[in-house]
Structure 1
Amino acid sequence: MKVTWAKKSFWMFFGAILGAMAVVGTSVWAEGKSGDAGAEATKEVAVPLEELRAFVEVFDRISTDYVEPIEDKKLLEGAIDGMLSSLDPHSAYLPPKNYKRMEEHTTGQFGGLGMEVGMEDGFVKVVSPIDDTPAQKAGVKAGDLIIKLDEHPVKGKSLAEAVKIMRGKPGSKITLTIVRDGVDKPIVMVLTRAIIKVKSVKEQLLKDGMGYVRISQFQLRTGEDLIKSIKALEKENKKPLNGLVLDLRNNPGGVLRAAVQVSDAFLNDGLIVYTKGRVKNSEMRFEAEEGDVLNGKPIVVLINEGSASASEIVSGALQDQRRALIAGRTSFGKGSVQTLIPLNNGGAIKVTTARYFTPSGRSIQAEGIVPDIKIDQVKIEKLKAADFTRIKEKDLSGHLDNEDDKKQAEKVVQKADKALEELLANDYELHEALSLLKGMYFTQQMRGHE
């Protein structure tokens, strides 16, 4: 067979690489992001020479026989991407630009539509829309399958390619065609891209001294922000809270360290989470330290099918340690650890290196966290006026006026927090969680007086 100099050079270069791998092995550095494995490990790897020869042969054929010239870099990056995407839905190759965007994502500001996505059956699957983003405002829901981006079919594209299309200049529009369970026809939505600034923690004081904290995503500062939110609620309440609703619905996860910090905030001791993998540095254990920010006051954690990863770590830890009541619907079931390994080209690979286990030894993977109290998803609609209306005393002819009517009405308007009333009226799950929390608080109070 005739071999050109370019091909000879490639073969010589590839042979040198194989030799280096056989002698030195591979050095893996796990960056402290979502995986947070954090240590360096060196392991000798047996190189599959026959399979690599087949790879080089395919590379050679494509380089010479493909209908159009194609850059070697594009071929090799495609091979890396295919290698990783064939493992599981969460392992992936991140070219330099994508790696930079992922770093922006963990710090809380990036451009796009505002949703956590993965791949399923060749389509983009929405894990969860992020609060106050174009996706969430347009009505995108966890579990939606995106089958078209503008006029581009998603089938056949990698996740990185699909995400690249969804990203774009703020203010520009994109049309999503979505397939949703229970809906016969595809749903078409037009979204306007925006700079996504994610505030991961929000708080609101509920009735009877109960607090509400919503965590939309686990970022580097989420643990600190949680403590600040609780302190702010206590200041508004002018005394310690009587209980807390921790809302993790549609929270796709994020940084492992933040999940540990959030769990630790409500525990005085005990195991939070541990991981198991093939290599030593993928095995971790996280224990709680003294200091329950609520001093034992009751907690209800709200989860649903869009609660994943770090959300499941928090839910599992508080459930196993009997520190909180978990309410809602079974979570997503992402119980795997991804480690970011930077590459010399400025990109990185994201590789699944371990599985999460709750304190009792339950694996979250593909199972999720089953709530203690199930709250079904319901659609709340204001009842329309019927053809007849019940008659009240004030409708009777000649009824006596109540002199205090106006005064009472004014007092009610002054005291009522319209935003809170609207929130509870439109959010059935939160309303139920608050009812559960009140019951837990009164039960705790009764036991304290026994």
Structure 2
Amino acid sequence: MLKNRNILILMVGFILGATLSLCSSVLAEKETPVSTKAEDLQALPFDELRTFTEIFGRIKQDYVEPVSDKKLLEDAIRGMLSGLDPHSAYLASEEYKELQEGTTGQFGGLGIEVGMENGFVKVVSPIDDTPAQRAGIKAGDLIVRLDDKPVKGMTLADAVKIMRGEPGSDIVLTVVREGEEAPLKFTLTRDIIKVKSVKNKLLEKNYGYLRISSFQSGTGQGLLDAVDELKKENEGPLKGIVLDLRNNPGGVLNAAVDVSDAFIESGLIVYTEGRIKNSEMRFSATPDDIINGAPIVVLINGGSASASEIVAGALQDHKRAIIMGEKSFGKGSVQTILPTSNGAAVKLTTARYFTPSGRSIQAQGIEPDVTLARVKLESLDKAKIESIKEADLTHHLTNGNAKPEKKSEEEDKDDAKDPSEKDGDAAESSEAEIRDYPLHEALNLLKGISIMKK
């Protein structure tokens, strides 16, 4: 009993010291002296701290296996942060390093942006040109097994650690997907993930395409370079661009501001509000529009989150772009990385962000101006479906003077083919001509705007 009592006293002293230090630093920022009045000290949660130290002592004494103080306290910190919201977390030194690598654009793994939902790992978005994207992993998938290990009961950090590994090694993901009756299994080969955050191409003469897969520290400059390349390839100014933010999980706030600023000449881009002064920021546009006012269509979907929503919201509020697609993810909070003295860090939600008109996107998302359903656009195979003509109608009138049409040599050869061969050719042709329906619609809309301007 004496030993337990000593533990209790030591723990209470440790926690009270930490709490008083914290109170002191917060009050110092407000230039208010630390009060030592009895009524202020009574505001400390003594009963809860006593319960904490009691449980700590019980675990140390009675748990089936010895547990280090470091693990217990670290787990307590993780639990304290995870109970706040899905995005606040404790990052051990290794996890902190991985986060830093991710924001610079190179890291090892599968290429999936993930979160936790009901104890399972939820795919926020697969990253372009990565093992996950190539294997067919989709935003919204729930990962329930990693190889043979159930995900239920793991922390997100544990799951990420398993998914990351030696490049070239395989891992099997068991996924539950909405609309599928049975779980799906994907075998992925780990790779070094090098993310080029901005890609570009000409859709056709005068119309460009910009794809931002994530917002990294160099994304703003990458966008400027991509637009320059499009102008050179087009041999002149662009009449419009499609900005593709689908399945973009977000990233660095400043990068989102840089991208928005590239198309907005003046006014507010985004502002943040929190409890402390450092969390209150306002970002405004600087003069110049890199495409000189040419129309923009922004594509978003349920995998467009955070920084993607900042860009879409700013362009929408300034009526600088038409937002097309599906409602976005709805992450409207800002996380601040606070390094600790042991080489780790705390990722803490410190503010909410708002669009120029004062909209909070948190748990609401960006509503597109033009909503598109999830469909594929395919060309119809002539071998399977032909348009109906007068001559095909039952009991149609004959021409009277017409001579029977002779089939061409090509048609004769086609008729002589084995039916299975024809079907195979048709399937191959159809598969090759599957198109990106939202992109197709975005381009049509740009052309319509261009015609109206004339």
How many percent identity over aligned positions?
62
Correspondent of 1:15 among 4, 13, 16: 13
**Cα distance change, pair 63–382 in 1 and its aligned pair in 2 (3 A):** farther
**Mapped partners of 2:12, 2:145: distance in 1:** 39
Shift of 1:92: 0.8
1:140 is aligned to 2:149: no
**Mapped partners of 2:205, 2:16: distance in 1:** 68
**Cα distance change, pair 373–25 in 1 and its aligned pair in 2 (3 A):** same
Instruction: Name 1:317's counterpart in structure 2.
Output: 314
**Mapped partners of 2:80, 2:305: distance in 1:** 25
Alignment of 1:327-338 (within 5 A): 327-338=324-335
Instruction: Name 1:36's counterpart in structure 2.
Output: none
**Cα distance change, pair 257–388 in 1 and its aligned pair in 2 (3 A):** closer
Shift of 1:386: 4.5
Instruction: Name 2:59's counterpart in structure 1.
Output: 62
**Mapped partners of 1:371, 1:24: distance in 2:** 44
Correspondent of 1:170 among 167, 170, 175: 167
Alignment of 1:23-34 (within 5 A): 25=23, 27=25
**Mapped partners of 1:41, 1:163: distance in 2:** 39
Quick check: 2:263–2:288 contact (8 Å CA) kept in 1? yes
Shift of 1:251: 0.2
Instruction: Name 1:193's counterpart in structure 2.
Output: 190
Shift of 1:397: 3.2
**Mapped partners of 2:31, 2:115: distance in 1:** 30
Shift of 1:380: 4.2
* Structure 1 residue runs without a partner (length 5+): 29-39, 401-421
Quick check: 2:249–2:305 contact (8 Å CA) kept in 1? yes
Correspondent of 2:438 among 402, 421, 429: 429
**Mapped partners of 2:30, 2:135: distance in 1:** 45
**Mapped partners of 1:375, 1:113: distance in 2:** 29
Correspondent of 1:251 among 248, 251, 257: 248
1:3 is aligned to 2:12: no
Quick check: 2:216–2:252 contact (8 Å CA) kept in 1? yes
Shift of 1:209: 0.7
User: 3-state DSSP class of the match of 1:178?
Assistant: strand
Deviations 1:348-395 (A, max 9, x none): 111111111111111101110000011111134565565686799xx9
Letter in 2 for 1:339: T
1:100 is aligned to 2:109: no
**Mapped partners of 2:31, 2:222: distance in 1:** 37
Instruction: Name 1:261's counterpart in structure 2.
Output: 258
Quick check: 1:25–1:42 contact (8 Å CA) kept in 2? no
Letter in 2 for 1:443: M
Quick check: 2:103–2:251 contact (8 Å CA) kept in 1? yes
**Cα distance change, pair 424–208 in 1 and its aligned pair in 2 (3 A):** farther
Letter in 1 for 2:45: P
Shift of 1:304: 0.4
With CA pairs under 8 Å and 6+ residues apart, which has the higher RCO, 1 or 2? 1
Larger mean Cα displacement after TM superposition, 163-172 or 375-384: 375-384
**Cα distance change, pair 312–339 in 1 and its aligned pair in 2 (3 A):** same
Alignment of 1:301-380 (within 5 A): 301-380=298-377
Correspondent of 2:123 among 104, 122, 126: 126
**Cα distance change, pair 52–283 in 1 and its aligned pair in 2 (3 A):** same
Deviations 1:269-294 (A, max 9, x none): 01111111111211111111101111
Instruction: Name 2:400's counterpart in structure 1.
Output: none
**Mapped partners of 1:387, 1:257: distance in 2:** 52
**Mapped partners of 1:276, 1:388: distance in 2:** 58
Instruction: Name 2:415's counterpart in structure 1.
Output: none
**Cα distance change, pair 108–154 in 1 and its aligned pair in 2 (3 A):** same
**Mapped partners of 1:285, 1:200: distance in 2:** 25
Q: Number of aligned pairs?
A: 410
**Mapped partners of 2:105, 2:193: distance in 1:** 8
**Cα distance change, pair 221–27 in 1 and its aligned pair in 2 (3 A):** farther
User: 3-state DSSP class of the match of 1:353?
Assistant: strand
Q: RMSD of aligned C-alpha atoms?
A: 2.6
Correspondent of 1:87 among 84, 88, 107: 84
Quick check: 1:27–1:41 contact (8 Å CA) kept in 2? no
**Cα distance change, pair 344–370 in 1 and its aligned pair in 2 (3 A):** same
**Mapped partners of 2:388, 2:14: distance in 1:** 91
Letter in 1 for 2:181: D
Deviations 1:169-198 (A, max 9, x none): 111111111111111111111111111000
Shift of 1:240: 1.2
Quick check: 1:424–1:431 contact (8 Å CA) kept in 2? no
Alignment of 1:292-303 (within 5 A): 292-303=289-300
Letter in 2 for 1:366: A
**Mapped partners of 1:311, 1:69: distance in 2:** 46
TM-score, scaled relative to structure 1: 0.85
**Mapped partners of 1:42, 1:61: distance in 2:** 41
Q: Which has the larger radius of gyration?
A: 2
User: 3-state DSSP class of the match of 2:61?
Assistant: helix
Larger mean Cα displacement after TM superposition, 11-20 or 168-177: 11-20
**Cα distance change, pair 226–382 in 1 and its aligned pair in 2 (3 A):** same
User: 3-state DSSP class of the match of 1:235?
Assistant: helix
* Structure 2 residue runs without a partner (length 5+): 35-39, 390-403, 410-430
**Mapped partners of 1:253, 1:160: distance in 2:** 19
Letter in 2 for 1:297: A
